[in-house]
Structure 1
């Protein structure tokens, strides 16, 4: 699986780019999955529902299935967060795995950065950042600078980075 991160400080547009990249890669014929890191406690279950009650009763994992989708919830009762490699191992193989977050892990990343954020770009101190996606046209960097508003060209950059065969012909940049 070809794993690439969409990284950057909060509020710079990582999720917005990611949800535009998925269809740009899919329309080229690539299968895509995502992993999203959350820095806070979150819940995808609803209090009172059977699956919620199963977890509350102490089940280590609860799998909910229907004709439309299935979801596996795993409780980290020991307080240890799963590593990115452990999470990747749980996924079905795809052509491209887009990872939002996990910015301190060692894998290639495209940093989303806006000058108006007032933050220093991470690529300056993070060797795993292979490109900078920004709306600013005057940014110079020692890595490729991509137009944050052009998901087609960013998709093409990802395809070229992994030297993937074109599944279908996409937009040239």
Structure 2
């Protein structure tokens, strides 16, 4: 199971790019899962649902199934990406795209909003691609692919060759 992280600061286009990767991989016949880090506290919880009431009563895991969809909510003290991925492995996916989790060590695509975000490239490891806006001047390092965010066809081609088929 391959794992690709999509990282960047707020409003850098992470969700848009993650969605593009998922959609394109699906078109090519790959089974893809995703996981997002909610960096601003706990994710929103729908209160007054039965599964919420189950967790409020003390259940560590609560699930709700219907119409072919299973939603799980699991309480834990610390959720590293590695721990989360151990659950995903049961699904025998071809690819997991993790949005966020900057400090994890899986292969990463870094999204930049502009030159003010360049320090991020020094703070993360295992970068295989950098997507940046047209007006951003950037020093290219060997072994990393650099593509302007506006070049969607080039991004898709790189994703297909360097992530899906690697």
SS class of match (1:127) = coil
Q: Is the 8 A contact 1:21 1:152 kept in 2?
A: no
Q: Is the 8 A contact 1:17 1:151 kept in 2?
A: no
Q: Specify which structure has the higher proportion of helix.
A: 2
SS at match of 2:85: helix
SS of the equivalent of 2:38 reads coil
Matched, 1:13 2:10: no
Q: 8 Å contact 1:25–1:155 — kept in the other structure?
A: no
SS of residue paired to 1:62: strand
Q: Helix, strand or coil for the counterpart of 1:132? A: strand
Which residue is 2:111 aligned to? 112
RMSD: 2.0
- Using the TM superposition, give the Cα deviation of residue 14 of structure 1 relative to its aligned residue in structure 2, in angstroms: 0.7
Instruction: Give TM-score, length-normalised by structure 2.
Output: 0.85
* TM-score normalised by length of structure 1: 0.82
| Distance change (3 Å), C-alpha of 1:128 and 1:120 | same
Q: What is the CA–CA distance in structure 1 between the aligned matches of 2:80 and 2:117, rounded to whole Å?
A: 27
How far has the Cα of 1:66 moved from its partner? 0.8
The alpha-carbon deviation at position 60 of structure 1 amounts to: 1.0
> Which residue of the partner structure matches residue 121 of structure 2?
123
- Match of 2:117, SS state, is coil
Q: 1:130-170: CA deviations, max 9, x gaps?
A: 111112265442121113233443233233224628xxxxx
Aligned equivalents of 1:54 and 1:108: distance in 2?
37
Structure 1 residues 119 and 89, CA, compared in 2 at 3 Å: closer, same or farther? Answer: same
TM-fit CA distance, 1:61: 0.9
**Which consecutive unaligned segments of at least 5 residues does structure 1 have?**
166-173
Question: How do residues 77-156 of structure 1 correspond to structure 2 at under 5 angstroms?
Answer: 80-91=77-88, 92-115=91-114, 118-136=116-134, 138-142=137-141, 143-156=144-157
